Structure formats: structure tokens, C-alpha cells
């Protein structure tokens, strides 16, 4: 009931806030009128808004009236908002006095506000509340005391956690002591804070308090907290292990990082892995030598963790060690090291990789070549040397890297390797590299021109590969070249090119495809037509362009299958021109029924205008006997009989065209203003009864009765 009243108050408050002065209270407005509202019999919603204003503009003068509201369950929280904000000490006194005049949840709120204000004068009153039979009151008092702090509070709360009180009260008292300890740390009194944290850790308290105190005890000790931190890392308790890892990230002080490095030898492999990740999060570069050493040998999971740490905080000094790991027999270690080298920050890392590439051989050389590609390092000369290496693996790596770093002027190397591979095994990686390079080129038209030149003296198979690259690139020149191949006399190129055109990702392929489809003797004209229809059915374009392309496709089609695809496009993108096309398709006897069904679907979306009805009649279906038995329009009990109007509008088809698209205008008014209305129709079609319901202003197309 209280919550319901509170909800009503809040709703009323919102309504009132919209009705009273629209401008916010300004500094020069008098405080007294606001106080007068609180003293009056004004609605509670208005008083709530007034309290909110007094939180900004109130002074000690408003405290007497605000204090009267503290005992009101519906206004106490609003009054406390103002009292918490007023700087005058009389606000403290009012809240302290309310400790004697309130109870239950209201008293808990008062205690919380005292905690916000941290009034030392409230210590005695709050201490008395620790004995309150209401556990919520007692626990709130313990936390509020912790916010106030001081020697008296510490003594009281320490006694509370040691005595035989309820677990909830002891937990709240411990929370209060933790607040006192945090305040001591902030004041530079770490010794007192440590004493409080340790007292909590040694007491019989719920685990969350022990965890909080352990964290505080470690952090307050700074470097001296390492021993306690390591104790948590060695714990079998996952929560305490977690707090150890958390504080490993947070702990500050001279020698902390070195101490954590030493701790690596004091924990098992599982914890070592977690500790390494925590140390990486500290971002302290002084651990790099230790991490490099751990990454070099030991259990794989620990090595991988160290490598990931180097990836996060490493620099150029880590390159040598990571390169050694990148050729490790353990694939997980090698992969992690290679990834770390690829992501290691710094231009100097790039320079180091290039220098080492000139000197390396074997597996190390291949790793460095891969890194050139992964890091996109401009090291084309070194890669050009590598593409002539004696071993296939190095050549493949070099070609792949060239695909990632080659510029427009470097394409000739890749094109040559595609056209005239020195080794048969180089053909496929060269084609993949050329594709990767071309796709990322900024000037794709110039790139396509280079590929076009290369096609002149390429073998048939290579021409097919170059066509694949052109299609992946896209663009005007690429489309022209693929289109030319599709129109060539070579069956293999026709096959490849028409397939690629059918997968083209821009609508500018439409004219090329439709011209191919119009060639009666082209072996892939059907494929071209279907590719053209794919654009019509799936790609964004202007309605007029879609209609034109759909009409072209219909005119080029000589099979029902493709004409049916045109009908699918008509149904998917309905407009009057598409409906006209459906009627035209319906002139094909074998497609008459499908065209009629499509036209009906389009008509449902367009509405029953005279043009729509006229077009539907052209489909040549037998006239229907449509009778409107009854038609009711409205909402709920506000209904209007529109039978005669609908009877007049009905013809010999299931689509009914009203004199206006608006039901209200067509039916002579709105029977239920502001409500969603329905049109309910009972009818007969060829003497078969049916009924239908239409949303307001929707097209009226009567379903055929079964």
C-alpha cells in the first residue's frame, strides 16, 4: 500500500511539475514562499517539488518546516534530500532529533542522511540505535557511524564485531570499520588503517568483509603487503586468489614489481600464468627481462602468458626473444609469439624486423617475411629477393606478404609471377597475393588497367585468374574487362566472365548482363538474365530504375522460369508500374494465374484505386458477384454502419476502391476519435459467404471464401 501511495505521489508530482511555473527557480527568488508552501495545506506533490527546490536554494530558515516532514512516510525522502544539502548545522540537529521520532524504514532513511552529512554530534544517538530490535535500523546505524569516523566510533564498532551480535550487525559494523580504515589511509595514517583491517580479518565475520579487509590490508602496507598478497595467491580459496590477483594489479610502492617477479617462483604453474597476466596489466616495463626469460622456457601455458604480457607492454628489446619463440616446436607458443611480434608497438620494431630479414634464413626468415605482411612494413625490396628463394615455403611467404604491402608500381612483379611462374607451385600463392594487393589498391581503375594489359599475353587459364581478381576489385574498368571476356568467342572465358558478372556487387553490371541476355546464340544468356534479375530483386536502386530493369528482363526472357522471377520482383517491390508489368506478364497463357495472384498481392499493398481495379480487370478473370452483406466501422462500442457506402464502392472484383484513402473521409466522419478503428465486413462472393477485418485506412481486398 505504501509503495502504491508513493507511486501515486510521484505521478502527481510529475503532473504538478508540468503545471507550475515552467521556468526553474532563480537565485533571486525568495526562499520564504517555498517555506510557506511547506507550512500550508498544499498537495503533497507540490510539497515534494518544493523540497527539491530547497535542496538547491534552502538555508537554515527552511529547516523547521522540513523537519516536520521527516515523519511523513510519503514526504520524508523529499525532506531529507533538502536537509542533506543545506549547509547550516541546524539540518544536522533536525536529523539527530528525528532519531527519537521516527521508526522503521523512515528511521533508516534518517540514519542514512546523517551518514551523508557525517555529523560528529550524531555519534551518541547512532550508537544507541545499534541496539535497536529492527535489524535494518541497527545495521544502517553501524554503516553511518563508519562514515562519520573518529576514535569513539572505532571503539564502538570494534566492540560490535567482537560481541555476540547478529551476523548482519557484525557485518555492518565491519563495513563501518572499513570506511574508517579507508579514511585513515586517505589522511596518511596507514598504521591505524592496517590495525583496523587486520582486526576485521581476524574476526568472525561474513566472507565479503574478510575479502574487503584483506584487500585493504595489502594496499595499506604498500611494498610490505607483498607477503600477505602472495599468501592469497597461494590460497586454495578462489575468492582469496582473486583478491590476490586484483591487488597485484593495484599495489604501489618501491620494489613491488620486483617482489611480484620473485613471487613467480613461489606459486604453481596455474597461478603463475594468472600472475603474469596481472603483472602485464600493471604496465611496468621493468618486468620485460623476467617475462622474456619466462617466455623462453618452461610449461607451454606459462610461456604463452609471458608472451602475451610482452605483446602488451613489450618494446623492440623483446624482438629477439620473441623471434626465437616464434620458431618453437610447440605450435601454441610459436603462434602466440608470432602474434605478439605482429602487434608489438613501435616503428623501431618495424626497422628491427627489416634488418633481421636481410640476415635471416630458414624458419626465422619465413617468420620475418610473414611479419612484414602482417605489420604492413614497406619492405618490398627484401620480399622481391625472397620470391626467388630456393625453397617453396619461403617463396610462398614472400608472395603472400607482397600481397599485403605491394603498391601500384609493384604489381608487375605479382602479375609476372601469375603470367609466367618460375615454379609451378608459385602460381596459386601468386594469384592469391595479386588478388589481395589489387583489392586494397586506392586507385582501382589504374590497377584494373594494369591487369587488362597483362591479359593480352596471358594464357587462357591465367586470363581466368585475372578475371577473378578484377571481379573482386570491382569498378568501371574491371566491369568493362569482364564484360569483354563474356562477349568473347572463347567458351572458357565466357563461362568464367558470366559467372563473375552474375555475382557482381553493384548494379552497374545490369546493362552488361541484359545485353548478354539479349544475344540469342550466347551459350550463357540464361545465366546472364538471371544475374540481371538478381540485381533487380536484391539490390537498392530507384523505383524507376528497378521497373525499367524488370521490364527489360521480361522482354529478354523466353522461358517461364525467368518470367516468374520477374513476378517475384513485382511482388517484392510493389508500385503501379510493377502492377502494369504483372498484367503484361499475365498475357502469357501459362503464367496468367501466377500473374493474377501476384497482382492481387500488389493490389493489397497499393489499395483499391480506380487504376488498380482497372489493371486487375485486364488480367481477364471471370467477373465475380460481390455482395456486401454488412459493414461496420469503429472501435469498441463506438461503431458506424457503412454498409451502403461499401455496397456502392464494390464492383465485380475483390478489390474495393473507396472514394478516399482515408476511411474517415470515405465513411463520412470519425466514429471513435483518437482510437484505433477496424472495418468489419460480411460479404458474399459468387454466393459464398465470407468475412474480413481491415485495419483503418488499409487496402480493402476481400479474401475469396473457401
**DSSP per-residue codes, 43-102:** -HHHHHHHHHHHHHH--GGGHHHHHHTTT-TTTHHHHHHHHHH--STHHHHHHHHHHHH-
- In this structure, the answer to whether residues 534 and 544 fall within a common structural domain is yes
C-alpha cell at 466: 585475372
> Residue 676: what pLDDT?
94
If asked whether residues 605 and 627 sit together in one domain, one would say no
Asked if 511 and 601 sit in the same domain, the reply is yes
| pTM for this model (two decimals) | 0.69
- 672, part of any domain: yes
Q: The C-alpha cell of 361 is what?
A: 634464413
Per the domain annotation, does 94 fall within a domain? no
pLDDT at 28: 40
Domain termination site, one of 621, 648, 672: 621
Q: Is 603 contained in some domain?
A: yes
- What length does the chain have? 706
Q: Are 245 and 236 in contact (CB under 8 A)?
A: no
601 belongs to a structural domain: yes
Which 3 state secondary structure label does DSSP give 586? coil
Residue 487 domain boundaries = 408-496
Q: What is the pLDDT of residue 16?
A: 42
Cα 670 to Cα 673: distance, rounded to the nearest angstrom:
6
520 shares a domain with 442: no
How buried is 313 (Cβ within 10 angstroms: 0-12 exposed, 13-18 middle, 19+ buried)? buried
Residue numbers in the chain where pLDDT is lower than 50: 1-25, 27-28
- Which residues neighbour 188 within 8 Å (Cβ) at sequence distance 6 or greater? none
Residue 521 exposed, middle or buried by CB count within 10 Å (0-12, 13-18, 19+): exposed
Residue that terminates a domain, selected from 88, 103, 133: 88
**Residue 275 domain flag:** no
Residues 581 and 553 in one domain: yes
* Cα separation, 191 vs 217, whole angstroms: 10
In 3D, which of 410, 342, 344 has the Cα closest to residue 376? 342
User: Is 314 contained in some domain?
Assistant: no
Which is nearest to 98 in space by CA: 81, 114, 119? 114
Question: Does residue 594 share a domain with residue 523?
Answer: yes
Q: What's the domain count of the chain?
A: 4
Query: Residue 356 falls within a domain, yes or no?
Result: no
Residue spans of alpha helices (H) in 518-634: 525-538, 543-556, 560-572, 576-585, 592-606, 610-617
Per-residue model confidence (pLDDT) at position 609? 74
Across the chain, what does the average pLDDT equal? 91
Say whether both 600 and 637 belong to one domain: no
**What are 467's three cell numbers?**
578475371
- Which of 441, 472, 496 is a domain's end point? 496
Are 599 and 637 part of one and the same domain?
no
Question: How far lies 576's CA from each of 46, 325, 591, 621, 699, in Å?
Answer: 59, 68, 19, 19, 14
Domain-embedded: residue 127: no
pLDDT tens digit sequence for 517-564? 999 999 999 999 999 999 999 999 999 999 999 999 999 999 999 999
Report CA-CA distances (Å) from 58 to 81, 87, 490, 674. 11, 9, 91, 45
Contact status, residue 616 vs residue 653, Cβ threshold 8 Å: yes
Amino acid at each position: 500500500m505504501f509503495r502504491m501511495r508513493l507511486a501515486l505521489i510521484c505521478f502527481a508530482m510529475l503532473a504538478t511539475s508540468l503545471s507550475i511555473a515552467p521556468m526553474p527557480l532563480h537565485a533571486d527568488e525568495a526562499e520564504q514562499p517555498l517555506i510557506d508552501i511547506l507550512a500550508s495545506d498544499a498537495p503533497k506533490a507540490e510539497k515534494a517539488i518544493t523540497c527539491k527546490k530547497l535542496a538547491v536554494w534552502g538555508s537554515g530558515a527552511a529547516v523547521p518546516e522540513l523537519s516536520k516532514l521527516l515523519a511523513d512516510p510519503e514526504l520524508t525522502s523529499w525532506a531529507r534530500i533538502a536537509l542533506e544539502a543545506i549547509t547550516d548545522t541546524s539540518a544536522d540537529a533536525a536529523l539527530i532529533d528525528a532519531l527519537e521520532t521516527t521508526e522503521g524504514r523512515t528511521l533508516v532513511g534518517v540514519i542514512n542522511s546523517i551518514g551523508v552529512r557525517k555529523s560528529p554530534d550524531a555519534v551518541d544517538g547512532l550508537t544507541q540505535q545499534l541496539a535497536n530490535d529492527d535489524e535494518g535500523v541497527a545495521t544502517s546505524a553501524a554503516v553511518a557511524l563508519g562514515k562519520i569516523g573518529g576514535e569513539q566510533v572505532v571503539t564502538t564498532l570494534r566492540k560490535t564485531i567482537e560481541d555476540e551480535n547478529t551476523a548482519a550487525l557484525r557485518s555492518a559494523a565491519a563495513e563501518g570499520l572499513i570506511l574508517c580504515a579507508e579514511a585513515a589511509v586517505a589522511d596518511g595514517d596507514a598504521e591505524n588503517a592496517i590495525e583496523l583491517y587486520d582486526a576485521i580479518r581476524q574476526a568472525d565475520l561474513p566472507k565479503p568483509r574478510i575479502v574487503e579487509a584483506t584487500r585493504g590490508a595489502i594496499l595499506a602496507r604498500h611494498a610490505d603487503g607483498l607477503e600477505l598478497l602472495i599468501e592469497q595467491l597461494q590460497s586454495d580459496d578462489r575468492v582469496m586468489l582473486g583478491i590476490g590477483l586484483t591487488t597485484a594489479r593495484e599495489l604501489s610502492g618501491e620494489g613491488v614489481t620486483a617482489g611480484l617477479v620473485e613471487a613467480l617462483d613461489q606459486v604453481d604453474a596455474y597461478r603463475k600464468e594468472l600472475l603474469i597476466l596481472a603483472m602485464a596489466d600493471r604496465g611496468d616495463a621493468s618486468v620485460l627481462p623476467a617475462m622474456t626469460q619466462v617466455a623462453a622456457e618452461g610449461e607451454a601455458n606459462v610461456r604463452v602468458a609471458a608472451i602475451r604480457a610482452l605483446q602488451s607492454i613489450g618494446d623492440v628489446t623483446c624482438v629477439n626473444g620473441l623471434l626465437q619463440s616464434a620458431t618453437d616446436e610447440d605450435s601454441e607458443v610459436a603462434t602466440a609469439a608470432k602474434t605478439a611480434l605482429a602487434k608489438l608497438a613501435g616503428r623501431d620494431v618495424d626497422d628491427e624486423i627489416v634488418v633481421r630479414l636481410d640476415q635471416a634464413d630458414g624458419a626465422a626468415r619465413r617468420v620475418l617475411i610473414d611479419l612484414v605482411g602482417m605489420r604492413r612494413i614497406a619492405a618490398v625490396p627484401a620480399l622481391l629477393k625472397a620470391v626467388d628463394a630456393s625453397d617453396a615455403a619461403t617463396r610462398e611467404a614472400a608472395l603472400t606478404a607482397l600481397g599485403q604491402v605491394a603498391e601500384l608500381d609493384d604489381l608487375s612483379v605479382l602479375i609476372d609471377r601469375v603470367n609466367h611462374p618460375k615454379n609451378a607451385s608459385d602460381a596459386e600463392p601468386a594469384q592469391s597475393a595479386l588478388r589481395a594487393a589489387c583489392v586494397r589498391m586506392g586507385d582501382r581503375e589504374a590497377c584494373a588497367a594494369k591487369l587488362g594489359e597483362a591479359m593480352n599475353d596471358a594464357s587462357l587459364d591465367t586470363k581466368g585468374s585475372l578475371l577473378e581478381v578484377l571481379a573482386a576489385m570491382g569498378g568501371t574498368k574491371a566491369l568493362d574487362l569482364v564484360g569483354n571476356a563474356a562477349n568473347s568467342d572463347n567458351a572458357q572465358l565466357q563461362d568464367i566472365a558470366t559467372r563473375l558478372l552474375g555475382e557482381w556487387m553493384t548494379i552497374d553490371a545490369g546493362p552488361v548482363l541484359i545485353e548478354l541476355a539479349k544475344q540469342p546464340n550466347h551459350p550463357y544468356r540464361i545465366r546472364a538474365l538471371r544475374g540481371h534479375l538478381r540485381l533487380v530483386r536484391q539490390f537498392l536502386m530507384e523505383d524507376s530504375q528497378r521497373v525499367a530493369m524488370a521490364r527489360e528482363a521480361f522482354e529478354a526472357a523466353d522461358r517461364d522460369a525467368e518470367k516468374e522471377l520477374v513476378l517475384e520482383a513485382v511482388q517484392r517491390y510493389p508500385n503501379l508500374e510493377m502492377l502494369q508489368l504483372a498484367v503484361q506478364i499475365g498475357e502469357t497463357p501459362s503464367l496468367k494465374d501466377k500473374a493474377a495472384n501476384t497482382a492481387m498481392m500488389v493490389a493489397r499493398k497499393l489499395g483499391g484505386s480506380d487504376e488498380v481495379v482497372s489493371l486487375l480487370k485486364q488480367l481477364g478473370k471471370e467477373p465475380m458477384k460481390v455482395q456486401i452483406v454488412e459493414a461496420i466501422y469503429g472501435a469498441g462500442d463506438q461503431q458506424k454502419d457503412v454498409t451502403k457506402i461499401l455496397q456502392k464502392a464494390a464492383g465485380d472484383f475483390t478489390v474495393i476502391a473507396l472514394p478516399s484513402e482515408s476511411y474517415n473521409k470515405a465513411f463520412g466522419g470519425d466514429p471513435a476519435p483518437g482510437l484505433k478503428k477496424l472495418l468489419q465486413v460480411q460479404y458474399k462472393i459468387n454466393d459464398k459467404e465470407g468475412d474480413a477485418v481491415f485495419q483503418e485506412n488499409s487496402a480493402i481486398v476481400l479474401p475469396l471464401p473457401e
